[in-house]
Amino acid sequence: MIEQYIPIFLVLAFAITFGVVTVFSSEIFGPKRPTSEKLSTYESGMKPIGTTTERISIKYYMVAMLFIIFDLEVIFVYPWAVQFRSLYNEFGMFAFYSMLVFLIVFEIGYLYAYKKGGFNWD
Amino acid sequence: MIPTALEFQLLLPVLIIAAGILISLIIEMFSSKSEKILPWFSIALFVSTAYYSLLTVGHERIIFNSMLAAGGTANIFFFVFTFGAAIVTLISIDYIKKIGMYYGEYYILLQSAVLGMMLMANAQDLVMIFMGLEQMSVCFYILAGFNRKKIKSNEAAMKYFLLGAFATGFIVYGIALMYGVAQTMSIPAIANGLLIYSDNIIFVAGLLLFIIGFSFKIAAVPFHMWVPDVYQGSPTSITALMSTGGKAAAFSSLLIIFTPLFATTQSTLFQPYLVVIATLSMLLGSIVAIAQTDLKRMLAYSSISHAGYILIGVAAGSELGIASVIFYLSAYTFMNLGTFGIISMIENKDEGNLSLNDYSGLGNKKPMLAALLAIFMFALAGIPPFAGFFGKYYVFIAAIESNLTWLAIVGVLSSVISIYFYLRVVVVMYFQKDENILNVEDSSPALLGIMISALLVIVMGIAPGSIINLISNFVK
């Protein structure tokens, strides 16, 4: 039972060792010539402005929630569409109607978000 | 396999509620009068589901590729959930207007929570249990914080969410470990191999994590920390559903897991654990409730001690034990709903009038409400001829028949302690003079809901035999 997991443990041990060794070896063996630019926060070459803990508008929360709705739709619909031929051979029209029911439930939720103003930015 | 029409027909209670949620969403979208339509629509939905569940209680079958069960105990739980939710809706109508927290989604979330409870009660697969649990819990997290202008309500939602999510983590980890050993999530399939698995330490650890997670949900000591704050802070109508339907749903899932354990010779595997948490819950709940002056907080501790009594029935591990658990849960549901209904009527819009002193002289001011509250207090204390007495009676009988006599004695002692704080409410109502004027807004829907629960509590107390026989028929 436990022997089956030995490869996983090996990969895990290798990953940990690799991470630790690379981080610390560059720390130990690397040359250190610090300048003020090198020590500042990395900001893709720009000069860093402000703090990292910016306040973010609550509106992005709606975007995140709506994203989850669409994300879920894709997760279910895409594999279904790819495999529809074999699903149809096995289940017949039931395969189609199942997705139809899912989409109706889904669209009602989408419509609700729209009606309640979830897509309004202001 | 394609589900047959019969399977859909047997699943109709769940499907009615699911369709009702969608229709409610459409009503809420397009109607400006949804505040008036939705509660009555929900009540019609819940009552028709309750009726249909009782109608088809005899059609016991495993449906949908052994994902769900239909009929039998599942339908009895359906009845408790939906009828309880109908009473909660009746209580809510005027309450949420008074508190000023109508945001449209209230009734929809209520229906959604009930759908989650129903999936928990008829699941035959660990994933279905988890899905139902999440659906119920997420709705409760939102509803607990529904009075969003009040800081206490927000605190309750936050605490409930964090601790509930933590408990869910235990459950998922437990499911993962059980799946790792059994290589299936189907509960009947796991039950078949239970004799082999129960020697496997990983499987037992998974089952233990699963049960610990549910101990959170049923509010058993030592996993009870969230209960007083959440029950006190949440809107009273939501506390009513959380303490009854939510608890009953968690117990129904525990029974689904424990029934196959009892059927094999492994019934004593978790008995020590159950006995310990039952004892602790009963005693701590009853003793700490004595010190409470806030009625909602007192009922929160009382709910902890009731979880202990119900766990005695689970620990007994016999058919009578399971039947007594279901009887106790239904009795407890209606006792508690009535009590919270009265509290929600007396509560004023700033969440005042919740302490015990506010009830002094209620017997003169509002004789009707006082009499009903007295009935529920007697019932919760376990005094015949109300349902609470027979709930405890059957649970203790089951314990004695399973050679747990001492646990029954602890239970009796604990209910003696609990009589003090239940009857204190009655004493304050009738024997304490108070000249202050108590403004209680009349609410006929809430009163109707309270009277229906009172009626059920009395009927279950007068004719418990026929009800426990009905339940025993479906307990295997």
**B438 pLDDT more than 80:** no
pLDDT band at B265 (very low <50, low <70, confident <90, very high): low
**B434 pLDDT more than 80:** no
**B4 pLDDT more than 90:** no
**Cα→Cα distances B86→A20, A82, B93, B98, B384, Å:** 59, 44, 11, 19, 26
Look at residues B37, B132, B117, B33 and name the one whose alpha carbon lies nearest to residue B77: B117
Rounded to whole angstroms, the maximal C-alpha distance in chain A is: 70
A117–B contact, CB cutoff 8 A: no
Say if residue A35 is in the same domain as residue A65. no
| Residues contacting A29, CB < 8 A, separation 6+ | none
Joined tokens for residue B41? 């629509």
Q: State the total domains in chain A.
A: 2
- State the smallest CA–CA distance between residue B217 and chain A in angstroms: 27
Any domain includes B346:
yes
Q: What are the chain B neighbours of A91 within 8 Å (beta carbons)? A: 2
Q: Write out pLDDT tens, residues B19-46.
A: 999 999 999 999 888 888 999 999 999 9
**Taking a C-beta distance cutoff of 8 angstroms, is the pair B130, B175 a contact?**
yes
Q: Do B26 and A108 touch (CB under 8 A)?
A: yes
**Taking a C-beta distance cutoff of 8 angstroms, is the pair B345, B441 a contact?**
yes
Q: State the total domains in chain B.
A: 1
| Residues contacting B309, CB < 8 A, separation 6+ | B278, B282, B328, B391, B392, B395, B411, B414, B415
CB neighbours of residue B58 within 10 Å = 11
Query: Alpha helix locations (H) across B56-150?
Result: 73-99, 105-122, 126-144
Look at residues A78, A76, A65 and name the one whose alpha carbon lies nearest to residue A109: A65
Any domain includes A45:
no
pTM confidence score: 0.89
Say if residue A69 is in the same domain as residue A97. yes
- State the smallest CA–CA distance between residue A37 and chain B in angstroms: 42
**B336 pLDDT more than 70:** yes
Among B22, B64, B65, B196, the strongest candidate for a mutation testing the A interface, having the largest count of A CBs within 10 A, is: B22
Residue corresponding to tokens 């983590």:
B169
Q: Write out pLDDT tens, residues B338-381.
A: 999 999 999 888 777 888 888 888 888 889 999 999 999 999 99
Rounded mean pLDDT of chain A? Answer: 87
Q: Do B25 and A94 touch (CB under 8 A)?
A: no
| Structural element, H or E, at residue B182 | helix B151-182
Q: Write out pLDDT tens, residues A49-97.
A: 777 777 878 788 888 888 888 888 899 999 999 999 999 998 889 999 9
Any domain includes B170:
no
Any domain includes A82:
yes
Give me the sign of the Cα torsion angle A42, A47, A49, A55. Answer: negative
**Taking a C-beta distance cutoff of 8 angstroms, is the pair B227, B250 a contact?**
no
**B152 pLDDT more than 80:** yes
Q: Write out pLDDT tens, residues B49-106.
A: 999 999 998 888 888 888 999 988 999 999 999 999 999 999 999 998 888 888 878 9
Say if residue A64 is in the same domain as residue A106. yes
ipTM score here? 0.80
pLDDT band at A36 (very low <50, low <70, confident <90, very high): confident
- State the smallest CA–CA distance between residue B422 and chain A in angstroms: 45
Any domain includes B171:
no
Any domain includes A33:
yes
Any domain includes B465:
yes
**Taking a C-beta distance cutoff of 8 angstroms, is the pair B378, B421 a contact?**
no
Any domain includes A53:
no
Counting Cα atoms < 13 Å in the Cβ hemisphere of B106 gives 32
User: Domain of A27?
Assistant: 2-39
A111–B contact, CB cutoff 8 A: yes
CA distance B427 to A82: 70
A108–B contact, CB cutoff 8 A: yes
- Chain A residue closest in CA terms to B20: A105
pLDDT band at B267 (very low <50, low <70, confident <90, very high): low
As a 3-state breakdown, chain B gives helix, strand, coil percent values, each rounded to 5, of 80, 0, 20
pLDDT band at B398 (very low <50, low <70, confident <90, very high): very high
Q: Do B29 and A91 touch (CB under 8 A)?
A: no
Reading phi first (left if > 0) and then psi (alpha if -120 to 50, else beta), residue A92 is in left
CA distance B81 to B291: 31
Say if residue A70 is in the same domain as residue A24. no
Q: What is the rounded average pLDDT of the residues B233-256? A: 94
A19–B contact, CB cutoff 8 A: no
pLDDT at B266: 58
- Burial class of residue A21, CB neighbours in 10 A (0-12, 13-18, 19+): exposed
**B289 pLDDT more than 90:** yes
B26–A contact, CB cutoff 8 A: yes
43-102 in chain A: CB under 8 A from chain B: 91-92, 94
Q: Determine the 3-state secondary structure of A31 from DSSP.
A: coil
User: Domain of B474?
Assistant: 270-476
Q: Quote the distance between the C-alpha of residue B235 and its chain's center.
A: 16
Say if residue A20 is in the same domain as residue A65. no
- State the smallest CA–CA distance between residue B181 and chain A in angstroms: 10
pLDDT at B191: 86
Closest Cβ opposite residue A94 in set B2, B25, B28: B2
Peptide bond connecting A79 to the previous residue in cis, omega within 30 degrees of 0: no
Q: Do B28 and A112 touch (CB under 8 A)?
A: yes
Any domain includes A11:
yes
CA distance A77 to A67: 15
Peptide bond connecting B222 to the previous residue in cis, omega within 30 degrees of 0: yes
Say if residue A30 is in the same domain as residue A65. no
B2–A contact, CB cutoff 8 A: yes
- State the smallest CA–CA distance between residue B158 and chain A in angstroms: 17
- State the smallest CA–CA distance between residue B350 and chain A in angstroms: 28
Q: Do B29 and A112 touch (CB under 8 A)?
A: yes
Say if residue A65 is in the same domain as residue A103. yes
